[in-house]
C-alpha cells in the first residue's frame, strides 16, 4: 500500500528529482554533482553495514516527506493531467489485481470495459469543467483545475481558428481530433524554407504529373475544391457531428449493437444521458447566480462605494452567493468523480429515480457474466421481493447491499413500540 502511495505521488508531479524527493532523504545535490560511481559505492557500503535490507528500506523512506508532498499537492490543487494520471494508476492497479484473480485474457477484457465506461464519465467531466471554468478559478483548492480547463479551451479555440500547433495538444480522450490530425499530417507537407504547403494525396500526385497545358485547365478547379469546397463541407459536417454524434453513437452501440456492448458500458452511458437533463437545470441556474453576483451586485457595490453609502447588505449577498456557488459546484463535481471511479472499477451505484429510469431502458444486470461488473443490490431486492421496495437511498459501497434499512426506521421503531404498549 505504501509503494502504491509513492507511485501515485510520482504520477501527480513528475520531474527529474521527484523520485529522489519521495523515496529517499539523501542530499540531492550530492547525488547530482557527485560522480555516479562514487554514489553507487556508497550505497553498497551502506547495504553491507546494515543489519537487514528491510532496515535500509525503512531508513531511506521518508514518510514525512511523502505526507508533506501529498499535502502540498492538495493545497495547490489538481489539474486535468493529474486526474488522468490518477485514473491510469487505478486502471493499472486493477489490471494487476485481475491478473492475479483470473488470467491475462480475462483481465484485459474486464479492464478495457471499465476503461471505456470511465472514458464516458471523463469526457462528461471535461464538458462540465469547461462550463464551470470561470467559477473554478475562484474556489480554493480548485484554481489549478479551473486554469487547466481554461488552457484547454484556449488551445481548442486557437486550433479551430487558425490551425496553429495542430496535434500538439491531442489527448487520449479525443480520438476524433487524433484521427483528423493523423489524416492532415499525412496528406499535407510543408516546405521548411518557403512555408508552402503541398498535398501528397493520390489526386494531387496525379495532377502534379500532368502536362503544363492540362494543369492550366485543371488547377483552378483543383484549388477551388481543396481550398474552398472541402473545408466548408468539413465545417458543415462537423456542426452536425457535434450535435448528433453523442445520440447517434449511443443508438448505434447500445441499441443496435446491444448484443455486443457490455452491460457496464450501457448502464453508465444511459445514466449519463439521463442526468444530463437534470444537470442543464443546475448549470443554467448557477449561470444566473453568477451573472447576478458579478454584474448586478458588483455594479451596486461600485455605486454604493462612490456615494459613500453603506454596502453591508450587498456584501452579505455577494458572500452568500459565493457560498451557494461553491457548494453547488463542489457537490456536482464530487458526484461526477464518484461515478467516474465507480465506472473505472467496474462498479455500480444507486441514486433514487435516476437508476430506476436507467434500468428501464437497458434491463437488469446479467449476474452469470463476470464481464457485467459489480453488484446491484437494488435489483436483487426487487427480484426477490416481487413488490415495491421500501424507500432506500443507500445500498452499501459499490452496490453490495446492506441490512434492511428504512429511511424512517427511527419513526417506525417508535410507532411499533407505542402500538405494543397499547395492546
Q: What is the pTM of this model?
A: 0.67
Q: What is the pLDDT along the chain (423 residues), one digit of tens a residue?
A: 444 444 444 444 444 344 334 444 444 444 334 444 454 454 444 444 444 554 544 455 556 666 676 676 666 677 888 888 889 999 999 999 999 988 999 999 999 999 999 999 998 998 898 888 888 888 877 877 878 777 777 666 555 555 444 555 566 566 666 676 777 777 777 777 776 667 777 787 788 788 888 888 888 888 888 888 887 887 888 777 777 777 888 888 888 888 888 999 999 999 999 998 889 899 999 999 999 988 888 888 888 887 777 778 888 888 899 899 999 999 999 999 999 999 998 889 888 888 888 888 888 888 888 888 777 877 777 666 655 555 666 666 666 666 554 444 555 666 766 666 665
Show the DSSP H helices in 225-297 as ranges: 230-250, 263-291
- d(Cα 273, Cα 396) in Å, to the nearest integer? 24
Backbone conformation region of residue 363, classed left if phi is above 0, alpha if psi is from -120 to 50, else beta: left
Pick from 383, 421, 416: nearest CA to 401: 383
- d(Cα 365, Cα 168) in Å, to the nearest integer? 41
- DSSP secondary structure of 62-99: -HHHHHHHHHHHHHH---HHHHHHHHHHHHHHHHHHHH
Cell 463476470 identifies what position? 370
What residue spans define the domains of the chain? 1-76
- d(Cα 87, Cα 117) in Å, to the nearest integer? 12
Amino acid at each position: 500500500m505504501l509503494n502504491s502511495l509513492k507511485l501515485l505521488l510520482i504520477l501527480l508531479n513528475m520531474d527529474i528529482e521527484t523520485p529522489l524527493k519521495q523515496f529517499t532523504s539523501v542530499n540531492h545535490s550530492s547525488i547530482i554533482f557527485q560522480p555516479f560511481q562514487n554514489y553507487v559505492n556508497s550505497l553498497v557500503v551502506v547495504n553491507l553495514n546494515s543489519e537487514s535490507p528491510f532496515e535500509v528500506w525503512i531508513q531511506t523512506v521518508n514518510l514525512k516527506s511523502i505526507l508533506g508532498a501529498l499535502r502540498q499537492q492538495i493545497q495547490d490543487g489538481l489539474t486535468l493531467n493529474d486526474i488522468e494520471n490518477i485514473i491510469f494508476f487505478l486502471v493499472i492497479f486493477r489490471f494487476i489485481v485481475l491478473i492475479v484473480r483470473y488470467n491475462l485474457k480475462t483481465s484485459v477484457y474486464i479492464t478495457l470495459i471499465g476503461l471505456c465506461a470511465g472514458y464516458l464519465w471523463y469526457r462528461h467531466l471535461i464538458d462540465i469543467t469547461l462550463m464551470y471554468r470561470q467559477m473554478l478559478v475562484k474556489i480554493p483548492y480548485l484554481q489549478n483545475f479551473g486554469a487547466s480547463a481554461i488552457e484547454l479551451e484556449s488551445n481548442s479555440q486557437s486550433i479551430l481558428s487558425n490551425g496553429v500547433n495542430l496535434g500538439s495538444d491531442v489527448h487520449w480522450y479525443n480520438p476524433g481530433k487524433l484521427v483528423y490530425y493523423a489524416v492532415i499530417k499525412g496528406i499535407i507537407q510543408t516546405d521548411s524554407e518557403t512555408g508552402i504547403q503541398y498535398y501528397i494525396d493520390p489526386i494531387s500526385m496525379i495532377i502534379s504529373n500532368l502536362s503544363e497545358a492540362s494543369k492550366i485547365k485543371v488547377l483552378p478547379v483543383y484549388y477551388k475544391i481543396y481550398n474552398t469546397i472541402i473545408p466548408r463541407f468539413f465545417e458543415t459536417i462537423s456542426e452536425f457531428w457535434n450535435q448528433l454524434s453523442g445520440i447517434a453513437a449511443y443508438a448505434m452501440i447500445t441499441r443496435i449493437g446491444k448484443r455486443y456492448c457490455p452491460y457496464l458500458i450501457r448502464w453508465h452511458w444511459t445514466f449519463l444521458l439521463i442526468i444530463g437533463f437534470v444537470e442543464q437545470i443546475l448549470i443554467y441556474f448557477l449561470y444566473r447566480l453568477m451573472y447576478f453576483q458579478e454584474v448586478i451586485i458588483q455594479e451596486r457595490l461600485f455605486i454604493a462605494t462612490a456615494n459613500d453609502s453603506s454596502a453591508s447588505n450587498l456584501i452579505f449577498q455577494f458572500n452568500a452567493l459565493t457560498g451557494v456557488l461553491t457548494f453547488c459546484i463542489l457537490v456536482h463535481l464530487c458526484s461526477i468523480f464518484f461515478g467516474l471511479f465507480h465506472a473505472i472499477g467496474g462498479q455500480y451505484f444507486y441514486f433514487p429515480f435516476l437508476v430506476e429510469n436507467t434500468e428501464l431502458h437497458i434491463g437488469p444486470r446479467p449476474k452469470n457474466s463476470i464481464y457485467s461488473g459489480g453488484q446491484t443490490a437494488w435489483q436483487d431486492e426487487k427480484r426477490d421481493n416481487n413488490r415495491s421496495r421500501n424507500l432506500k437511498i443507500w445500498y452499501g459501497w459499490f452496490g453490495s447491499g446492506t441490512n434492511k434499512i428504512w429511511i424512517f426506521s427511527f419513526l417506525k421503531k417508535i410507532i411499533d413500540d407505542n402500538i405494543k404498549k397499547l395492546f
